[in-house]
Structure 1
Amino acid sequence: MTAQSARIALIGNPNSGKTALFNALTGSRQKVANYAGVTVEKKEGLVTTASGRTLSVLDLPGTYSLRARSPDEAVTRDAVLGRLAGEATPDVLVCVADATNLRLVLRLILELRQVGRPMVLALNMYDIAQRQGLRIDIEGLSREIGAPIVTTVATRKRGIDELVAQLEVKVAAMDAAGELTGQNEWREPTAAEIREAHAKAQRIMKTYVRPPEHPDTMTGKVDAVLLHPLAGLAILFALLFVMFQAVFAWAGPLMDGTEAGIAWLGGAAATVIPDGLVQSLIVDGLIAGVGSVLVFLPQILILFLFIILLEDFGYMARAAFLMDKIMGGAGLHGRAFIPLLSSFACAIPGVMATRVIDSKRDRLTTIMVAPLMTCSARIPVYTLIIAAFIPERTVWGFANLQGLVMFGLYATGILSALAVSFVARRLFWRGQVEPFLMELPTYKTPDPMNVLRNLWLRAEIFINRAGRIILPLNILIWVLATFPAPPEGAEGPAIDYSFAGQLGHMVQPLLAPIGFNWQMSVALIPGMAAREVAVGALGTVYAVADAEEHVGTLAGALSVDWTLAMGLSFLAWYVFAPQCAATLAVVKRETNSWLWPSVMFVYLVALAYLAAFGVYNAAVALGWG
């Protein structure tokens, strides 16, 4: 620590509002990376005090104890104790507590006292505690734990200045002392010491915290409905149904506008750039390829909007509780619900989120089935094929048929994940699934700025992905689809004579039993790097091949060139399609072995081929070939 800087660590229970406090402290001055050697996410930001001192604030993963049971909790423990390679020891600890639920955090505070670092307790959500008439003896509690207490409402930035002032006092005292005060006395406690700490926490709670005069009965009343074994599940499935319907219904106008803008850009570029290779590269390679993926950004953001809102409302933990019995019957731990739900956005954060599962076997099972969840990278593929072959009409008087098909594809992925986990638990590692324990947070109103910040971050990630991965791959596809030029007097489209055409024709016989033509075969290859690139590859291939002569859109071109059986086979393949290279790399890092990503790749290829084979041949038998 220098005279003008210090390192602050935020630590607290899950659902204590710790990340909201981090956002209130640091605002836009934050960055996200990973800790060295692990895939646990590291959030760090800067705050400047009134005197001009810079504080580096670290948002640590939530934990109930320094006795780490999961990789996330291990990172928090090691960061607090200064054991992380390449990471400086925190100068001051800020324990963030939900003011309405101090029971569990008191045991964590007792452990943090043993670490010997200066500490400040931030009583967050204090406005809710006041509304409930919860009486906390702040002065007495502060004396008991040996640390100053600041009341905060992170979502409204109340108490932030007071917290920063307290941190500055602590840091200034350390500067004056010239060294860290206190000795680290923490060690793994015995069972007897855990019971003793629990009893002490109970005594502190009883002494300094009085029961609320106006208890939160609304949460109990709402939970009586939302957690009902039948009504709760019905509401959960209805929410999921609405979410997938909205992905189509709400995004339609935005997608049409985006598509029109991309078409205008392509036309404008074609009028400015002379005919030739440069025009083909810009219009067919860049605009047609990347544009055919960017058009799906509205759908992806709508999906993320639902997930963020459900998390912020406090419903996500309830959904996990509701799904525990169903998932337990399939051999999955109840905590697997949140990683699997995260995988609807992207399998990478889903795989990384399995660190909240304590048991290594349960964590590995969840990792292996996470790719079967329909990630956002599949949405462009699904939407393209559905638009090409499924008519846009209303069924049952209220449901969009295209949305129903999309819902069916998501449901197929979910059921497949449950089936694979059931088989894995029975064949490879038998044993009972550990019981599911989770603290249910109180219901909260989402902070609009936090929701918008998260949505912007997701849009940024998707667009960045389009720039870093999709753009160069589409340029590669354009090169493969353009060169070599056909010989003089050659018949048929020029792309037949290109490297892409040759490669597609070479692979196509292996995929002929599932109805794939050579263009589909070409699209699968770059799709291994990022699945949404398959759409860009098809856009590039068909643009180069002048398929737009038939119909002005890629979906129209496919509806002319493919049969319904081929389209359904392509959808079936992508329900189980092998993971993108980035996901396989993350699985390798999470499991610290090449065995499991190899097993994942092989079993997904086998499932995809078998599913596509069955669907294609069934569709042909029904006369759709």
Structure 2
Amino acid sequence: MSSPSEQHLVALVGNPNSGKTTLFNALTGENQKVGNYSGVTVSRKSGSFRTPHGRKIELVDLPGCYSLNAQSPDEKVTRDFLIGEQDDETFPDISVCVLDASALERHLLLAMEVIELGRPVVIALNMVDLAESRGIHLDPTILSEELGVPVVPVQANKNKGTLELKQALRLPLPAIDYPKWEVSGSEAERLAARTHFIQTICGEAARRENDGTLTLTDKLDSFLLHSFTGWAALIAIMLGVFWTIFSLSSYPMDFIDESFGSIGQWAANTLPEGDFNNLIVNGVIAGIGGTLIFLPQIVLLFLFIALMEASGYMARAAFLMDRVMNLVGLSGKAFLPLLSSHACAIPGIMATRTIDSAKERLITILIAPWMSCSARLPVYFLLIAMLLPQASSLQQAGFMLGVYSLGIVTALIAARILKGRLAEDATPSHFMLELPPYRLPQLGYLLRHIWDRAWAFLKRAGTIILALSIILWALQTYPKPAKGSLASEDKSLALEQSLMGQIGHTIEPIFKPLGFDWRTSTSVLTSFAAREVFVSSLKITYSISEDIEEEEQDKLLREALAESTWPDGSKIYTPLTLLSLLIFFVYALQCLPTTAVVARETNSYNWAVGQLVGMSLFAYLAALAVFQIGTLLGF
């Protein structure tokens, strides 16, 4: 008999969509912490609580899986943890296996595999209300007798049965006795025995009334999974998500931008003039503001993800998109992160956490930045307006659509190539998907989901983004022009004489084959802080005043670019140069904050740096081909 003062390690295991996370939150409340399992990037969530007997429990929420026959890194983590082979972990004292009572036949297979490990198990029979509403009569006593382990009915979303579940977590549990199914022989024979046992036990412990009445889920799926209306609904929903992230997020983003602008102005007027003032205003405050401005997009994105997951629609969207995504070697789960990356690559990359396969998740992360994000729009607007000055708004919009399509098509081709290249080193991926019943999302789950993701972004990306902003500030500030010199009064001359300007002059021979002069090269370098910085950097190099309206600034910039020339008098910004620059921005991964997030999400600086170098090199070669071939053809 264990002492009440002892702490027990309890594992929470179950299929995806079994309500495992909801039960975890109900048991642990606010006493939670999130990290990674040792040696892998799979997230680990653990929490603590006390049983009615006073015993302290450490509860570990294991990744959802369908079987302990590991086919993915998530499933391997679950299996290794349960048998005590996970690095720095011992096997749990008790395993709580969460079953969806409304889909008992599918969920019992994993439960039987966990029981066969021979260690203490408690079954949490979740969603009993949903099962009863669907005409399923449950008998937990029969189920317990047949499985040989305690079975506790719970309704996690309403915190019902959690006290009884806590009471069941006491050692020693009754010895496991499972004479009802065969556990020897080949895997095929064992599976057949389990399947026969499951059908028998469900006939006794989960009797179903079949009166021919369609459930709400059946009725909705007849529309949402239909070959025509299903696709129409999916397109409408995705366009709604896309439009909302683009449009509604602009209001809080503008508010954040204006707020930090006001804070910066206050700091500039309050602090003594000098480098420290400049550092705080243009380095620290601008860096923090540049981080927080992404937050509304992240919050909205993960709100929609949480809504679709909690309601059950996410599985339907993945199901519909699976066949299309299979053409490039991905599954339907990669669709939403790629779509979201059109708003911002950072939340899109973070959204790949919904992808079970580590290989597929990596491929999606690597190609996500080729989805043209909203930060590229100021650059596209500038270049397309100069490239097609006489075109109508509709024609310019069509050209913009072509630019977006170019990035999408290239990304999908790259995904297909990467799928083959990574196949030898990755575990084969199996797209196994359960379509859960539709449910009303729980407010607590939505808030917790959004908070976790937002905080992860701020904590993981914020410090690195701030550091990069300060480094770029230093490059543009030093060496400072001598007092009284012309450069001290002219920002464009000051930038030209700074380290960043010197680097721009140094690399001009590298970028000249693309049609870029030193000003363009310098602006490309500064855009590594954020893509939209390219336009503001050009305004500085061409001495466009910041004291006039932005629309007037853009007009003057277009005129200055159109009139700029090389030393021999030839124009710099020809249509061919504009097209070359446009191609470069479609393909280049210039946003270092994205690289920082990729490093965090993949737990590898090698992948992050490789992606940055690879995409930038691809962008250079593509722009080079456009400019040089166009020149040879006389354009």
Smaller-chain TM-score range? 0.7 to 0.9
Structure-2 residue corresponding to 1:55? 57
2:453 is equivalent to residue 458 of structure 1: yes
The residue number in structure 1 matching 2:598 is: 583
Alignment deviations for residues 430-472 of structure 1 (CA, whole Å, 9 cap, x no partner): 9xx9875422111111112211222222222233345311112
Whole-angstrom distance in 2 between the partners of 1:304 and 1:404: 30
Residue among 295, 298, 305 paired with 1:297: 295
Matched, 1:607 2:618: yes
Whichever residue aligns with residue 321 of structure 1, its letter is: F
Amino acid at match of 2:103: N
> In the aligned structure 2, how far is the partner of 1:162 from the partner of 1:409?
59
Q: Deviations over 1:487-516 (max 9, x none)?
A: 463545212212122123323443345565
Question: Aligned pair in 2 of structure 1 residues 160, 390: CA closer, same or farther (>3 Å)?
Answer: farther
Provide, for residues 340-390 of structure 1, a one-character-per-residue CA deviation record: whole Å limited to 9, x for no partner: 568765465566665x34xxxxx64663353222599x7562355468779
Q: Which whole-Å CA distance do the structure 2 matches of 1:148 and 1:191 have between them?
A: 28
Q: Distance in 2 between matches of 1:458 and 1:434?
A: 26
Residue 4 of structure 1, CA deviation = 3.0
Question: Could you say if the C-alpha distance between residues 246 and 349 of structure 1 is closer, same or farther in structure 2, counting changes exceeding 3 Å?
Answer: closer
| 2:271 aligned residue (249, 252, 273) | 273
* RMSD (CA atoms): 4.2
- Tell me: CA distance 1:606–1:127, structure 2 relative to 1, closer, same or farther (3 Å): same
Runs of 5+ consecutive residues of structure 2 not aligned to the other structure: 386-392, 562-572
- In the alignment, what sits opposite 1:550? 546
Aligned in 2, Cα 1:321/1:375: closer, same or farther, shift over 3 Å? same
How many residues are aligned here?
Answer: 590
Which of the residues 375, 380, 397 maps onto 1:381? 375
Equivalent position SS for 1:101: helix
What is the CA–CA distance in structure 1 between the aligned matches of 2:609 and 2:293, rounded to whole Å? 33
Report the equivalent of 1:418.
412
Shift of 1:304: 2.2
Between stretches 4-13 and 153-162, larger displacement belongs to: 153-162
Partner AA of 2:472 in structure 1: I
Of stretches 487-496 and 233-242 in structure 1, the one that deviates more from structure 2 is 487-496
Name the SS for the 1:580 alignment partner: helix
Pick from 173, 189, 192 the counterpart of residue 189 of structure 2: 192
Q: Structure 2: how far apart are the matches of 1:186 and 1:525? A: 63
The structure with more radius of gyration: 2
State the partner residue of 2:206: 209
1:583 and 1:600 mapped to 2: Cα distance?
9
Cα shift at 1:263: 1.7
Q: Please report how far the alpha carbon of residue 149 of structure 1 lies from its aligned counterpart in structure 2 after TM superposition.
A: 1.8
Segment drifting more, 610-619 vs 28-37: 610-619
Of 113-122 and 571-580, more deviation after overlay is shown by: 571-580
Counterpart of 1:484 in 2: which secondary structure? coil
Taking the aligned partners of 1:195 and 1:73, their CA distance within structure 2 comes to: 22
Offset at residue 481 of structure 1 (A): 1.5
User: Would the aligned equivalents of 1:347 and 1:583 in 2 still touch at CA under 8 Å?
Assistant: no
Q: Is the 8 A contact 2:526 2:534 kept in 1?
A: no
Q: Secondary structure at the match of 1:534?
A: coil
Change (3 A) 1:517 1:252: farther
Q: Is the Cα contact below 8 Å between 2:95 and 2:120 reproduced in 1? A: yes
Return the structure number with greater relative CO, CA threshold 8 A, min gap 6. Answer: 1
Alignment match, 2:436: 441
TM-score by length of 2: 0.80
Cross-structure match for 2:389: none
Q: Is the CA contact (8 Å cut-off) linking 1:342 and 1:349 kept in structure 2?
A: no
Q: 1:246 aligns with which of 240, 244, 247?
A: 244
Alpha-carbon distance in 1 for matches of 2:444, 2:627: 47
> Is the partner of 1:8 in helix, strand or coil?
strand
1:62-86 per-residue CA deviation (whole Å, 9 max, x = no partner) reads 1122111111101101101111120
SS of the equivalent of 2:97 reads strand
Mapped pair 1:231 → 2:229: yes
2:498: which partner in 1?
498
Provide the C-alpha distance between the structure 2 equivalents of 1:160 and 1:612, rounded to a whole number of angstroms.
61
Who is 2:123 aligned against?
121
Q: Secondary structure at the match of 2:277?
A: helix
Contact 1:132–1:216 under 8 Å retained in 2 = no
Matched residue SS, 1:31 = strand
Whichever residue aligns with residue 272 of structure 1, its letter is: T
- Shift, 1:542, TM fit: 8.0
Which amino acid in structure 2 is aligned with residue 28 of structure 1?
E
Task: State the shift of 1:187 in Å.
Answer: 9.1
**Matching residue's letter, 2:148:** G
Once the 2 structures are TM-superposed, how far is the Cα of residue 414 of structure 1 from its aligned partner?
Answer: 3.7
SS of match in other structure, 2:530: helix
Partner amino acid, structure 1, of 2:280: I
Cα deviation code 1:592-612 (max 9, x no counterpart): xx6x77875564234333555
Q: Give 2:16's aligned residue.
A: 14
Give 1:240 deviation, angstroms.
1.8
Q: What stretches of structure 1 of length at least 5 have no aligned partner? A: 358-362, 392-398
TM score, norm. by length of structure 1: 0.81
